[in-house]
């Protein structure tokens, strides 16, 4: 049974208009994701969007550069295209199409806004998922644990770590792992029971700082455009 990669490309970003078809280098974010998943018969792709413009953009690129790929398209409902919709809301809607989805049990979600996750890394993640017989896998970045949170009622700032004296140095402190959102993988049959993206026998896959970059605002986009010429070769090799 083949693996399905879902590319969720909603068009309603407020910080960057038409974010998923913004170019870094000579390719848009959608094109980069499609190209990384091309030229292999292991992966099929589903592009999910509320935008006909995005869907036509993906169709045109796939026809021109990846004609042998199996690619599906999903038109989002108003509910799953809203700002409040979660990834789980979208997955539940996609999984209603039994004729399509019953052909796949290994499901991966790749955000186009994480363009520096390389093809090699994607293949490693899928390989680990299979050989370790995982139920779910997700990308992370490691950090020191010295985080603070704000109590919105009292306006007080609270330590999310043991704020003892003397404080442990960052090199000796236990690391925490923060989800990047770049890739989630899971078994479809178990997702339908758990209804969440990470569950049971799970593994965080730690990315380097470049691969962990998520384009969320104009500064991120400008930084990605600066980095792309230096990282382009690594992305696709």
Task: Give the mean pLDDT of 3-10.
Answer: 96
- 3-class secondary-structure state, position 56: helix
Burial 186-222 (b: 16+ CB within 10 A, else e): bbeeebeeeeebbeeeebbbebeebbbbbbeeeebbe
Q: Which residue has the higher pLDDT, 176 or 1?
A: 176
Confidence class for position 162, pLDDT limits 50, 70, 90: confident
Whole-angstrom distance, CA of residue 136 vs CA of residue 129: 7
Task: Give the mean pLDDT of 156-166.
Answer: 88
Q: Six-digit token pair at 180? A: 């990047």
Confidence class for position 29, pLDDT limits 50, 70, 90: very high
Q: C-alpha distances in angstroms, 99 versus 65, 96, 105, 156, 176?
A: 27, 9, 13, 52, 40
Closest CA to 174 of 193, 160, 153, 194: 160
Task: Give the mean pLDDT of 50-66.
Answer: 90
Whole-angstrom distance, CA of residue 198 vs CA of residue 98: 22
Residue 66 above 90 pLDDT?
A: no
Residue 113 above 90 pLDDT?
A: yes
Q: Which domains does the chain have, with CATH numbers?
A: 3-142+177-236 (3.90.550.10)
Cα dihedral 205, 211, 214, 220, rounded to 10, equals 160
Confidence class for position 54, pLDDT limits 50, 70, 90: very high
Residue 65 above 90 pLDDT?
A: no
| DSSP state for residue 218 in the 8-state scheme | H
Predicted local confidence at residue 70, as pLDDT: 83
Strand partners, 3: 43, 106
| DSSP state for residue 15 in the 8-state scheme | S
Q: What percent of the chain has pLDDT over 70?
A: 100
Task: Report the chain's mean pLDDT, rounded to a whole number.
Answer: 93
pTM > 0.85: yes
């Amino acid at each position: 049974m083949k693996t399905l990669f879902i590319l969720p490309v909603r068009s309603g970003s407020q910080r960057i208009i038409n974010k998923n078809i913004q170019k870094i280098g000579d390719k848009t974010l959608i094109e980069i994701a499609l190209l990384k998943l091309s030229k292999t018969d292991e992966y099929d792709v589903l592009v999910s969007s509320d935008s006909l413009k995005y869907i036509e953009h993906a169709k045109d690129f796939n026809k021109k550069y990846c004609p042998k790929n199996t690619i599906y398209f999903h038109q989002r409902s108003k509910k799953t295209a809203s700002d409040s919709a979660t990834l789980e809301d979208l997955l539940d809607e996609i999984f209603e199409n039994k004729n399509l989805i019953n052909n796949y049990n290994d499901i991966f979600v790749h955000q186009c806004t994480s363009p520096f996750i390389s093809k090699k890394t994607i293949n490693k993640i899928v390989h680990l998922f299979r050989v370790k017989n995982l139920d779910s896998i997700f990308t992370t970045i490691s950090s020191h644990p010295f985080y603070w949170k704000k109590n919105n009622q009292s306006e007080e700032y609270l330590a999310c770590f043991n704020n003892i004296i003397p404080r442990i140095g960052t090199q000796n402190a236990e690391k925490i792992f923060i989800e990047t959102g770049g890739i989630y993988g899971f078994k479809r049959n178990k997702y339908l029971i758990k209804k969440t993206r990470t569950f049971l026998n799970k593994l965080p896959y730690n990315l380097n700082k470049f691969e962990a970059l998520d384009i969320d605002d104009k500064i991120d986009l400008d930084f990605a455009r600066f980095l792309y010429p230096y990282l382009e070769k690594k992305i696709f090799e």
